[in-house]
Amino acid sequence: MKNNIKDFRAIHKYTQDELAEKLEVSRQTVISLEKERYNPSITLAFKIARLFNCSIKDVFIYEDE
């Protein structure tokens, strides 16, 4: 699933390590999310949106295949 995590991370000036710590995940998870290799659980998607103070739809782009 396409996402804007890297863009939001840059806006908030978080490193991958800082974002991982705030989300309570590994840095590897953040890397996988940013490279769109991993789709987060709904719980993690909500945590990401809440951290960036936006909606899930602002962070994740759903494309019907």
Model pLDDT for residues 12-29, shown as the tens digit of each residue: 999 999 999 999 999 999
State the pLDDT at residue 45: 97
Q: What is the CATH number of the domain that holds 6?
A: 1.10.260.40
Phi, psi of 61 (to 5 degrees): -110, 110
Residues in the chain: 65
3-class DSSP string for 1-65: CEECHHHHHHHCCCCHHHHHHHHCCCHHHHHHHHCCCCCCCHHHHHHHHHHCCCCHHHHEECCCC
Q: What percent of the chain has pLDDT over 90?
A: 92
Count of domains forming the chain: 1
Give the domain range for residue 13: 2-61
